[in-house]
Structure 1
């Protein structure tokens, strides 16, 4: 039985808790949250003790689930690592690059499992493409959300775009050659809208747009590669592949198109998307990694790389804003 403690029982923390309490081989020992309102709501729903000391909760468990504000991630992770506890921490892994680098070093030195909560890796629409060869040369991403004060302690880059940064870094097997970015703060003190261009040494280019002040929600990613277009709708949980037909594509819907080089046959594939709970799946993989000594899904190094790119983007945005103000 894996004894686990949860840090932060706000909106997302409650979702994590609802999954953990019904999970096989898991015992939720307690939670830590400075908010009396959050604590009361948990007391009304579950018979789980509230700890008034973060260290006491860490000492009482085998593993911790950190769903607290990003600014608290590093201190909680460091304390848990030094006490030999396994860690699941929500994205972004840390608030700064220096904190992320320190955690990677501590994790490498400790005999623990450390998983970062990049939940879109477990989105059923993305999982449906696991058997397909993804080798994009151009990527177009739109992640739009309605304004919600929750999450505005960090920029839209660390709040929303980091989901797509992580997915792209997991797919494109190349290093970054150049980043250009622009963004603006509208409702908060940090950028709420941003557009980013990431260029890779293998020639792939990713164009990302994120906004948390949109009138509608959208979470779409499109891959363009040789002979194929792949679309993922993370919000509606749908995927599609449009490609030049091959002998293996018998049974798919096809369409003949006349081109300058002759007739081409297009095959359209809509992979089966199994409706699964992404949060439950990532937490189950964390549990299994501990109980069966298997690899975690998203490592501390993965978390560092996403934070690193996110901060490079923020640096570019701040530099662009400074230059524009100087030019006035």
Structure 2
């Protein structure tokens, strides 16, 4: 098997390892990007791999064959096998985008990061919400604001109602990463609680003088994906699904005459920044490929993925503690290992 790949000057050969619901979407987007050639897909279920390959005009291959053909791959498989597969890809000289969370344990994530650095390869973590146009707009605004607090809600029933899922690792991890990227920091302390079945959780994360409150739910019967930012200058509402941002500025209370009747009203200035809407996955994969072609640091680094994993492991442990193992507490040392579980695609 070849261990070196020369970047194409025209189209970058890409592949997908694991073509379930999320992996199949990666195959679709790679097949659509103008500077990318979908060179093949692979999956432990060969029938699924052949179906996806036929749909997007490529080949179903073995892992070894795929790595021979590709310069970049997406690894979209259950978390507990991330380490083995990502390591195999990096050792073959192939750049990797690995779906979130980066690995089953922090130590595995660190080893993966070290190997990528040693080989001079790009390892990007698939925190897709970073590439939501609404989130990117807020990122451009945040440096101008004196932020007091952030509130994130990621609610709604699963697409597959039979899938157990753990909302901390499946859903809340997105908002943990977004908050960390917006504040460019890691939390000083975390408190959390949730239900025993792992379908509902809340967490409070303190960053010096800023507080972030996160809620994730699989029992709420309405799909909600929102982020609110309270700053001294304004209040910002972000809707991930609508890809919209509303900025509420100075509020003016006053009494007015309405046909002889005194009436109280409260007016505020609402700004709607222009947002170039688009598919976050397309932005994510285009950014990944561009990082590889330029040999630049990816938008979401392995360290970003490790920090998000540390935080969600702590939150998950605190939720478990609240269920009676030990008393829940504020935690700042986030070195915990998570249970081995398959993490649902976002």
- TM over 0.5, yes or no? yes
2:282 matched to 1:280? yes
2:60 matched to 1:45? no
Measured against aligned partners, the alpha-carbon deviations of 1:211-255 in whole angstroms (never above 9, x if no partner) come to: 1232110001111111211110101211111123xxxxxxxxxx5
| Matched residue count | 305
- TM-score scaled by length of structure 1: 0.86
1:6 corresponding residue in structure 2: 16
Measured against aligned partners, the alpha-carbon deviations of 1:161-200 in whole angstroms (never above 9, x if no partner) come to: 11100000001244422111112244xxxx1110111112
Any unmatched runs of 5+ in structure 1? 245-254, 259-263
2:123 corresponding residue in structure 1: 114
Partner secondary structure for residue 171 of structure 1: helix
Which of residues 202, 206, 221 in structure 2 aligns to 1:199? 206
Measured against aligned partners, the alpha-carbon deviations of 1:1-36 in whole angstroms (never above 9, x if no partner) come to: 211111111111121111111212212221111124
1:306 corresponding residue in structure 2: 308
Distance 2:163 2:81 in 1: 15
- TM-score scaled by length of structure 2: 0.82
2:192 corresponding residue in structure 1: 181
Distance 2:292 2:55 in 1: 28
Distance 2:133 2:162 in 1: 24
Distance 2:241 2:75 in 1: 24
Distance 1:120 1:135 in 2: 23
Distance 2:215 2:92 in 1: 40
Which of residues 41, 44, 50 in structure 2 aligns to 1:31? 41
2:115 matched to 1:67? no
Any unmatched runs of 5+ in structure 2? 1-10, 255-265, 328-346
Residues 55 and 322 (structure 1 numbering): CA distance in 2 closer, same or farther, change over 3 Å? farther
Moved over 6 A (4+): none
Measured against aligned partners, the alpha-carbon deviations of 1:120-170 in whole angstroms (never above 9, x if no partner) come to: 111122123343135422111110121244895752111111110000000
CA positional deviation for 1:313:
0.8
Which of residues 218, 227, 252 in structure 2 aligns to 1:256? 252
Which of residues 76, 87, 95 in structure 2 aligns to 1:86? 95
Partner secondary structure for residue 142 of structure 1: strand
Distance 2:126 2:154 in 1: 18
The root-mean-square deviation of aligned C-alpha atoms, in Å, is 2.3
1:268 corresponding residue in structure 2: 270
CA positional deviation for 1:278:
0.9
Residues 22 and 280 (structure 1 numbering): CA distance in 2 closer, same or farther, change over 3 Å? same
Determine if contact 2:46/2:60 at 8 Å carries over to the other structure: no
